[in-house]
Amino acid sequence: MGLFRPKKSENQYVSNTTPEQLDLFEQLDRTVVIAVKEGSPQINGALHLCITQEGYERAAAALELTGKNSGPYQAALGMGLDTVLQQEGYRALVIYGLAGNQIDFVLTKEDLEPMKDVVDSFCILCAAARGAMPAEKAWERMASKTVWFLGELPQTGRSGERFGFVTLQREGGYEAVKAFLTQGSAKRFNQEGYPVTPARVADLEKFLEGTFALILEPHRNYWLEFGAESAKGSGGG
């Protein structure tokens, strides 16, 4: 999806950290400031993202953000990541202020690439949550993606085989199966130690249809639910 059109890049970059070390997934919805120079956030081939006011001031001085159409642009961290990953010309993400004034973190586009699919999913959920994308379109975009749910699907189809799901009671008298964009996110909200199982959204929703709804990232402010009407009609599990 992304935020801006690309601009010709200039510099080469080397990562000095990893997405895991910065725990970027847990910060995708964090509000940050992106440095914009002469109308473009692509400065020297990178997106410059600021966590604190001090970080922005340091970036503004280093990047000489003094000209026309230069300054701060507020966005979610995940939207900035999506811009780097989806648009040509970007070579890196530079993060200011995450460790105070001690160090500015650099992540190359190549090292961010493993996050591309989950960042895209985050952007879809965010767009749907704020009404910028219809639920039907969000479903189409998410259907082929893999999520992680708490519980197990039947493996053999034999009579008596055990399976089950962790559900969330919803207003309206129905239940929704909880699923997450990453295995790590599922484990974070799995204090009871249930099995954590991957499944395609379309396959999981089809299996649940008429019995349970499916809710993605239910503990975050960008949660998204599918199949609620069908679950309500069944009386909820």
Q: Tell me: the pLDDT tens digits for 132-142?
A: 999 899 999 99
Instruction: Check whether 8 has a pLDDT greater than 60.
Output: no
Q: What percent of the chain has pLDDT over 90?
A: 76
pLDDT at position 161, please? Answer: 47
Q: What is the mean pLDDT of the chain?
A: 89
pLDDT of residue 4: 52
Asked if residue 20 has pLDDT above 90, the reply is yes
Q: What is the rounded average pLDDT of the residues 162-181?
A: 89
For residues 11 and 74, give the distance between their C-alpha atoms in angstroms, rounded to a whole number: 24
Extended beta strands in the chain, E state: 31-36, 42-43, 46-50, 71-76, 92-108, 146-152, 164-165, 167-170, 174-180, 196-200, 213-216, 224-226
Is the pTM higher than 0.85? The answer reads: yes
CA 22 to chain centre: 15
Using one digit for the tens of pLDDT, what is the confidence trace for 103-143? 899 999 999 999 999 999 999 999 999 999 998 999 999 99
Task: Work out whether strand 146-152 and strand 42-43 pair parallel, antiparallel, or are unpaired.
Answer: unpaired
More confident residue, 159 or 86: 86
Task: Give the pLDDT confidence of 22-64 residue by residue, as tens digits.
Answer: 999 999 999 999 999 999 999 999 999 999 999 999 999 999 9
Give the pLDDT of residue 10.
56
Please give the pLDDT value at position 234: 63
What is the DSSP code (8-state) at residue 222? T
Q: 199 near 149, Cβ under 8 Å?
A: yes
**pLDDT band with cut points at 50, 70 and 90 for residue 9:** very low
Q: Out of 161-165, 178-182, 190-194, 217-221, which region has the weakest mean confidence (pLDDT)?
A: 161-165
Provide the token pair at 70: 């230069």
| Average pLDDT, integer, range 218-237 | 82
Where are the domain boundaries for CATH 3.40.1350 in the chain? 135-234
pLDDT in tens, 210-219: 899 999 999 9
pLDDT of residue 195: 92
Q: Is it true that domain 135-234 has CATH number 3.40.1350? A: yes
Which of 25-34, 64-73, 157-166 has the highest mean predicted lDDT (pLDDT)? Answer: 25-34
For 29, 45, 79, 88, 215, the CA distances from 121, given in Å and listed in that order, are 12, 25, 11, 20, 13
Does pLDDT of 157 surpass 90? Answer: no
Please count the residues of the chain. 237
At residue 163, the pLDDT reads: 65
Residue closest to 41 by CA, chosen among 98, 82, 97, 100: 82
pLDDT digits (tens, 9 = 90+) for 195-204: 999 999 999 9
